[in-house]
Amino acid sequence: MAKKKKPEEGRTHPVNPNVMGLQAQVVEQPITETLEINYMPYAMSVIVSRAIPEIDGFKPSHRKLLYTMYKMGLLTGKRTKSANVVGQTMRLNPHGDAAIYDTMVRLSQGYEALLHPLVDSKGNFGKVFSRDMACAASRYTEVKLAGICAELFRDIDQDAVDFVDNYDSTMKEPTLLPTSYPNVLVSANQGIAVGMASMLCGFNLGEVCRTAIAYLKDPNCDLTETLLGPDFPTGGELLADETALEDIYRTGRGPVVVRARWRYVKSDNLIEVYELPYSTTVEAVMDKTADLIKAGKLKEIADVRDETDLSGLKLAIDLKRGTDPEALMQKLFKLTPLQDSLSCNFNILINGTPRVLGVREILEEWTAWRVDCIRRRVWFQLQKKKSRLHLLLGLGEILLDIDRAIRIIRETEEDAAVIPNLMAGFGIDETQAEFVAEIKLRNINKEYILKRLTETEDLENEIADLTDLVNRPARIRKLIAKELAAVEKKYAVPRRTGIVTGGALPDVEETIPDYPVHVFLSREGYFKKITPQSLRMSGNQKYKEGDELAFTAEASNADELLVFTDRQQCYKTRLADFEDTKASVLGDYLPAKLGMDEGERVRFACLPGDWAGSILFCFENGKAARIALSCYQTQTRRKRLTGAYSDKSPLAGALHLTEDREVALFSTEGRALLVNSSAVALKATRTAQGVTVMNLKTKYRLASVSFADDTAVVNRSRYRVRNIPAAGALLKPEDRGEQQLDLLD
């Protein structure tokens, strides 16, 4: 039988500080101290150890991955599974396998994110120009180091850079990779740190090497002569603005504009886009194009398809008959990511400090760092040759009397005494004596002795040359230039991104089809655009129950439309933005189509034409204001204007005037007033309150306004006045016919 627990066993009781004789305290801490203790270490870690590249062009994650692959023998060996590399990299990079594999994918040849990929890959690694094309899992793909990585690790084993312990002090890793060319300008790199970011666009390797050589010869050289502009792995065309490029080269900041490359296939009447800007994807282009087609802004396009295959990117755009492909592409460049801007921000870690550098400053820092790498490499080689010479000099002493050396060794009784006896017998040190003692018996011949003496002379000459090299910076710079020329000859490839001089293309005006249409607007705000052919087939307009026609006009598809609401706002649009429809449909609901505020209603609409007319606004307080149409014409493509008319009194109605006409005003008292529109002075301010036209009693208001010719008033002279304001006259029964309905009630 199980032992019964005591009530206290297995139970946790809260501890009351007061019971323990302790007093709970709240310690106040200044926010600056909290940030300094808790936030600043994290921020510095992200900046220095994660997001910002250093002068060798790598972030720590890149460097750890590449060095691991180098130590695995993948520079000259066969490919291995990516999962194997990821696992080995965890010894240096204490992150999850997904993060390490993502880093490898970006550096791979298959992903095509770099002009000169650093990882030779086999398998599906996705594509940089596709958002949805995912890479295969690491257990399916294989990798090795690309050939150009030999330039990254050429001096790694010759003390060219410092090594530090890894995170658990079980192995060493390099702080930088001794790249023999300015990889920081060749490999595109971007990162977001805390409070800062970095965006390094890649340049062509051949141009970078030539620019670096020119800089080594003359630090004040013209960089634009050899460095033509950024070169992107996805190709495209760079819209080169010389002034903007010079600013980027000087400051390290600024935008570059890149557009897609395309061709027109006349036989199929379609456009093929085969190169995209580096900053976008084919899915982003297709999504934006589809949205524009739905909005009616790209009526020239019949279909858009992604036909990307093993041969590369291909985005097919089917055109409707009669479409000008050049004009359509200019519109697509303007409205879609087929033309995109990339903001350069050359933020680099220099000795642990982030600095935004221009191209000349980057070359200056890289040259100084590379000179130090070369000097350390030469010093390493010098010490090895001096050690070898030291051994040969000791051997030379022995070879002068080899018989004596043999006799000393033979007469020595103990093995441990051989070295001391040789040292005493020939006056050489322990290292030299050790080297002599290890010589094989077969090597004690004349040929061997002569070769060693010749080697001694060669070593002395080499040591003298290396000593001169390490002490002469000018010779080191020449050596760097020589290595750069060799890199260019072996690895340089032609530019992928073409250059279009003259900066950005001019803004090409859209070509809007121009044909006659009839427009209809209902009192509830439903708008229809119908062609004459469709109208002849069916002229019976369909409206919602309780709705009716408020405005109709003959127009052209290229005309603009002004829509005024009860919130004193004017919405500007074009008839071309609306689809041609039929009389049997309700049409577009303007509040939704134009993005009006919630509860906002349409009150009046007009076609401005050449903007030469005016609008007569009549308010419920009996006032009227005549505003010039030109007040609503703007230089920019603004879609909404606030303060379209006065808000001192609700709007009773409005009329579009192309010339002075007689208008009729009706009040809720049953009175009417006819007056010529010229009696109301023209105003140039949209929010003008106007002048009093109709005198109203306190409990009445102005109900509506119409053109006199559109009313049923027969006895016009009874209501006509010459001077305003006036009270008008009561309507007679014969003048009370059904009046023209408009957007007033």
Helix H or strand E encompassing 106? helix 97-107
DSSP string, 200-267: E--B-HHHHHHHHHHHHH-TT--GGGT--SB--TT--EEE--HHHHHHHHHHSEEEEEEE-EEEEETT
CB 668 within 8 A of CB 714: no
Tens-digit pLDDT profile for residues 624-654: 999 999 899 876 677 889 999 999 999 999 9
End-to-end, the C-alpha distance of the chain in Å comes to 91
pTM of the model: 0.70
Q: Which pLDDT score, from 0 to 100, does residue 20 have?
A: 47
Q: What are the tokens at 495?
A: 């530019």
Rounded distance between C-alpha atoms, residue 195 and residue 601, angstroms: 45
Tens-digit pLDDT profile for residues 372-390: 999 999 999 999 999 989 8
Tens-digit pLDDT profile for residues 448-458: 777 877 888 88
Tens-digit pLDDT profile for residues 399-432: 777 888 888 888 888 888 888 888 888 888 888 8
Rounded distance between C-alpha atoms, residue 389 and residue 376, angstroms: 20
694-712 per-residue burial string, b: 16 or more CB within 10 A, e: under 16: bebeeebbbbbbbbbeebe
Helix H or strand E encompassing 353? strand 353-356
Query: Could you tell me which of 473, 253, 291, 509 has the C-alpha nearest to residue 370?
Result: 473
pLDDT, mean of residues 222-232: 93
Task: Show the domains of the chain with their CATH numbers.
Answer: 58-178 (3.90.199.10), 261-337 (3.30.1360.40), 372-491 (1.10.268.10), 516-735 (2.120.10.90)
Between 267 and 637, the more confident residue is 267
Rounded distance between C-alpha atoms, residue 111 and residue 136, angstroms: 11
CB 240 within 8 A of CB 503: yes
679-685: Cβ within 8 A, 24+ apart: 679/723, 679/724, 680/616, 680/624, 680/625, 680/626, 680/724, 681/626, 682/614, 682/626, 682/627, 682/628, 683/625, 683/626, 683/627, 683/628, 684/627, 684/628, 684/631, 685/627, 685/631
Among the residue ranges 287-301, 417-431, 443-457, 691-705, the one predicted with the least confidence is: 443-457
The residues annotated with a catalytic role in the active site are: 140
Q: What are the tokens at 142?
A: 């294989």
DSSP string, 462-494: HHHHHHHHHT-HHHHHHHHHHHHHHHHHHH---
Cα-based torsion angle of the residue sequence 350, 354, 359, 364 in order, rounded to the nearest 10 degrees: -20
Tally the C-alpha atoms within 13 A of residue 47's C-alpha that lie toward its C-beta.
19
